[in-house]
């Protein structure tokens, strides 16, 4: 496994493989890797000749300086894991490499980015689009892999690919959960033992809401989740929205779409967590 730090080195390594007709899969990450990332990497390794994993904590997508500062970083352990997964190239640039000058591009993903995370994390998706598009230009992957835990991010990246006419297939991968249900996230390691215990209520409530949805209206299910999470000490609910899985717009009735997802964001202590659950999906 090669660990490369510059776009120039990355391009020359990939040009050689591309010339030989090899397919390239990209898994963009911010490091602090967990089993959720491993599942993306394993799929890429299975589906492509060459797998590139990028590790870059992208400053332009953080709207909170403390969150950026405290974001877990562990390049050595990450590389060990990726080597064991048969990754070909780890691309780990520094900030100057990715932003030799400020990226002034402004994307317009409305209405996908005006809901849910949008109002709570101004500029976040613009920063995600800046870095992911730069990674796509540098790697030119055939396929790129993203987790469905960041449900809104996945929809926005698909939209960005359309807007920029990029020739890359976006592969969405299911949420991977701890044995007790908590959705895997690099931020979980920042939870105290007590917060970690409390955080179980998030997935438990979402799963219970699936059952509740069988006999209740969409707005009743919304209230059910909002009441449990909103009234738990130590949680601060930002939103729970039940949305159309394609447009991300809030729904009023179960009949309004054939793809319906409930998305939640909350603070557990000082740590912001997100999760989602599918109420309806076209298979």
Binding site for ligand PAF (CB under 6 A): 28-30, 58, 61, 128, 131-132, 150, 153
Q: CB-wise, 131 or 221, nearer to ligand PAF?
A: 131
Q: CB-wise, 148 or 195, nearer to ligand PAF?
A: 148
Two structure tokens written together for 265: 């964001």
List residues bridging with 177 in a β-sheet. Answer: 183
Two structure tokens written together for 46: 């299975």
Least Å from the CB of residue 4 to ligand PAF: 17
Least Å from the CB of residue 117 to ligand PAF: 11
Two structure tokens written together for 185: 């996230």
Q: CB-wise, 36 or 245, nearer to ligand PAF?
A: 36
Q: CB-wise, 3 or 68, nearer to ligand PAF?
A: 68
What is the SS3 assignment for 136?
Answer: helix
Least Å from the CB of residue 58 to ligand PAF: 4
**Alpha carbons 41 and 30: distance in angstroms, whole number:** 14
Output the CA–CA distances (angstroms, integers) from residue 227 to 168, 185, 223, in the order listed.
Answer: 41, 24, 6
**Alpha carbons 109 and 208: distance in angstroms, whole number:** 32
Active site residues: 37
**Residue 107 contacts residue 125 (beta carbons within 8 Å):** yes
**How far does Cα 196 stand from its chain's mean position?**
20
Rg (CA), the chain: 19
């Amino acid at each position: 496994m090669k660990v490369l730090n510059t776009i120039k080195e990355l391009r020359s390594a990939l040009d050689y493989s591309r010339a030989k007709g090899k397919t390239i899969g990209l898994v963009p990450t911010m490091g602090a890797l967990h089993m959720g990332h491993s599942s993306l990497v394993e799929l890429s390794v299975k589906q492509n000749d060459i797998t590139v994993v990028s590790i870059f904590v992208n400053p332009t997508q953080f709207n909170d300086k403390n969150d950026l500062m405290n974001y877990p970083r562990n390049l050595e352990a990450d590389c060990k894991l990726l080597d064991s997964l048969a990754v070909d190239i780890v691309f780990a640039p520094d900030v100057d490499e990715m932003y030799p000058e400020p990226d002034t591009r402004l994307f317009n993903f409305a209405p996908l980015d005006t809901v849910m995370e949008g109002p709570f994390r101004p500029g976040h998706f613009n920063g995600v689009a800046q870095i992911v598009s730069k990674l796509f230009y540098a790697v030119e992957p055939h396929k790129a892999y993203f987790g469905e835990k960041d449900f809104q991010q996945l929809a926005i990246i698909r939209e960005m690919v359309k807007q920029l006419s990029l020739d890359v297939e976006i592969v969405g991968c299911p949420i991977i959960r701890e044995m007790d249900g908590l959705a895997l996230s690099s931020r979980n390691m920042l939870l105290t033992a007590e917060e970690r215990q409390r955080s179980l209520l998030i997935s438990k409530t979402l799963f219970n809401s699936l059952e509740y949805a069988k006999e209740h209206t969409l707005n009743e299910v919304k209230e059910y989740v909002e009441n449990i999470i909103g009234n738990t000490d130590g949680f601060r609910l930002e939103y729970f929205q039940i949305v159309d899985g394609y447009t991300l717009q809030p729904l009023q009735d179960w009949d309004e779409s054939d793809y319906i997802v409930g998305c939640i964001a909350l603070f557990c202590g000082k740590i912001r967590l997100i999760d989602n659950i599918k109420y309806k999906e076209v298979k």
